[in-house]
Amino acid sequence: MNIVCIGGGPAGLYFALLMKKQNPEHQITVVERNRPYDTFGWGVVFSDQTLGNLQQADPPTADEILGAFNHWDDIEVNIRGHRVRSGGHGFCGIGRKRLLNILQRRCEDLGVRLQFETDVQGDEQYPEADLIIACDGLNSRIRTKYAETYQPDIDLRDCRFVWLGTHKKFEAFTFAFEETEHGWFQAHAYQFDEDTATFIVETPEEVWKKAGLDTMEKEEAIAFCERLFAKYLDGHSLMSNAAHLRGSAQWIRFPRVVCQTWVHHNGRQPVVLMGDAAHTAHFSIGSGTKLALEDAIELARCIGRQPQDLGQALREYEAVRSVEVLKIQNAARNSTEWFENVARYVSLPPEQFAYSLLTRSQRISHENLRLRDREYVEGYEDWLASLAGVRRAQGRQPIPPMFTPFTLRGTTLKNRVVVSPMAQYLCADGVPADYHLVHLGARALGGAGLVMAEMTCTSPDARITPGCPGLWSDEQQAGWRRIVDFVHANSDAKIGMQLGHAGPKGSTRVPWEGEDQPLAEGNWPLLAASPQQYLDGVSDWARPMTREDMDRVRDDFVRSTRHAAEAGFDWLELHCAHGYLLSSFISPLTNQRTDDYGGSLENRLRYPLEVFRAMRAAWPAHLPMSVRISAHDWVEGGITPDDAVEIARAFKAAGCDMIDCSSGQVSKRQKPVYGRMYQTPFADRVRNEVGIATMAVGAISEADHVNSIIAAGRADLCAVARPHLANPAWALLEAAKIGYRDVAWPVQYRSGKQQLERNLEREKAMAAMPAPVRAEEG
């Protein structure tokens, strides 16, 4: 096969040597525009896992790379005079030039033709090639030429950064954060050879401009960075090796590149993207070179498996790598956004700031950190518990973050787990009876700190379905009182009431008879901020509320609030999310009013805030009150996370204690981006920008998720829904899974606790045995 690699970076060189090694008969040429052994940049980073992949693919190359690496296990975070260090991270640094030199020599040894100082204009220059690899970098000409096929999406990120070097030696991968009158700057520093380290300086573009760096000459800007980070440099200077760049051009905005496809057929041969031409991952997770080399490994492997069917090999390569790359890019996006918003987190205590940094990508979780550095994690758990006012007893286990108490106003929850409000649709005339006693009572016994009742309606016409619970009558209050008394008498959980009004989404069948479908008979009139059909052409029309309607509905909420207090609930939440009545005022998708309750966000919030203030005045002052919001409508023109911050500020000013950050369900046109903990970033942002407690919801399904969220300060509570439907004792099971035994079970169930813990320990021991031993045991 005749193969041409356009671009002599790591991707092109490594693919060339792997293919030549696979079949010496291949004619392989790598074309590079720079001179031999010429490169820009300083050091690159690999994880121990990446080194393992290289060792399997080509041991001679891996051995030489490993011999040139500077290896470290520690990450050090410096902020406000504090230094936090954790170990076990397993990273290696190597100079980019050294890496390329190793790959170039290996190519030459194997007989790959290296052609330097050749600026390729296009793939048409190589009509004789059977395969063209376009690894021509970030600004790929080939990708641009065939953009219609590759469909690149290039997102220029918010920060400016400059890639510098220094002879200061760093014992750990070091992050340093310094505040100026203009804003925050951060440095990423790591040693990559015996006497040189990479030193990247980064800051949001707005701060970069305020500091005047956009008009400084290169030498002046480097001097600025030296002064700013002097205490970390110990008198050493910073250096640039980008002689071709002048002034502010050395400060780059990182482009996130995502391509829909990686293979183009130009009529002569396939043209395959690889490395930065196909995808980029922010330098803060150190995966750009890793991705390039692993692209090369996978494509060589696919071709080697089916050398007679190149088309199938390319399809397999794209299918496998696109999934793996997307995982890294999603993690890189999380990391990028964290560094773009450092100012959001600097008010956290230094210990928590460092933990938030370590877990920013969501690839590293609480238990993963424990595997890396148990001493660090246990020390952090003790520190976090002390903030909650508890300390572990002598000889006892550290308290996991999810099992630390939480106090709001006069209510203390024993832990951070909340049974999310989950509609059951099994009430008659809005009265909760035996089913709800068993449903909520079982979950109160199951270990959660707070059990929330499902959305409970303030009037008959406020219901979603005829099966929804209510709290507008004495009979309903008595039904709820029975449940609350059971929870208080038989568990140490607290119980909360969520009040809401279905608005335009009301008068429908229970879901198992037709979700969101109007009732066949017995429908009631619907209200909304503006005329609306939730399901176009299907739902009944909701009419816009008059001032008289607003007064009546507000008073209904107040009446239900008083009933909730009389019933003995510990917590009250107002439902302002998911397209229900109050949500219909907040979202511009559903509020088209032209009076004082429409238009600006301030106006759209006017009525929900009016309802909240009236409820807060009627609710006991010593008890907390939260508000559930849709922090993102997932529809263009709808509520955005930026709006969510302002919504939270408005409710905080009105006396709200916590924001329950959900999203969506306002429009059927929504396009959510799902994933584990996918709504947690909304809670994170609201908590750390507004300074109000938050509850995270959505795809939180294991203790590790809850521990990571709470420990990082992304939320104060975690609401868990579907896992609690599957197992009312979810919190107790998760405690046993992570090996935490100092959690209280109901005395009647304690024998089950012991058996569960023994069985889980046995499963762990079996899983750790070598496969043949396990087979013999079976």
Contact (Cβ atoms closer than 8 angstroms) between residue 187 and residue 200? yes
The alpha-carbon radius of gyration of the chain (Å, integer) is 30
Q: How is residue 740 annotated by DSSP?
A: -
Q: Between the CA atoms of 742, 413, 713 and 418, what dihedral angle is there, to the nearest 10 degrees?
A: 90
137 token code pair: 């970098």
What does residue 235 show for φ and ψ, rounded to 5 degrees? 85, -10
Q: Give 321's contacts (C-beta < 8 A, 6+ positions apart).
A: 262, 294, 295, 298, 299
Indicate the residue type of 620.
P
Residue 739 has, within 13 A of its CA and on its CB side, a CA count of 10
The H or E element spanning position 441 is helix 434-445
Q: Give 141's contacts (C-beta < 8 A, 6+ positions apart).
A: 120, 121, 122
Distance CA 470, CA 476 (A): 6
Distance CA 88, CA 373 (A): 6
Which residue of the set 14, 580, 597, 607 is catalytic? 580
Name the 3-class secondary structure at 88: coil
Residue 258 has, within 13 A of its CA and on its CB side, a CA count of 17
Give the ranges where 146-287 is alpha helix by DSSP (H): 147-150, 205-210, 218-228, 230-233
| 2-6/131-134 β-pairing | parallel
List, as own/partner pairs, every contact residues 55-60 make where C-beta atoms lie below 8 angstroms and the sequence separation is at least 24, other chains included.
57/18, 57/297, 57/300, 58/17, 58/18, 58/21, 58/106, 60/106
β partners of residue 518: 508
Give the ranges where 568-670 is alpha helix by DSSP (H): 581-586, 601-604, 606-618, 641-653
Residue 518 CA from chain centroid, whole number: 37
Q: DSSP of 268-321, one letter per residue?
A: SSEEEE-GGGTB---GGGT-HHHHHHHHHHHHHHHHHH-TT-HHHHHHHHHHHH
Is 749 assigned a catalytic role? no
Please report, for residues 133, 497, 578, the alpha-carbon distance to residue 647 in angstroms, rounded to integers and kept in the order given.
50, 22, 15
Contact (Cβ atoms closer than 8 angstroms) between residue 179 and residue 82? no
Burial pattern 695-708, b for ≥16 Cβ within 10 A else e, equals bbbbebbbbbbbbb
Q: Between the CA atoms of 435, 436, 438 and 443, what dihedral angle is there, to the nearest 10 degrees?
A: 140
Residue with tokens 């994170």: 684
β partners of residue 626: 573, 658
Catalytic residues: 580
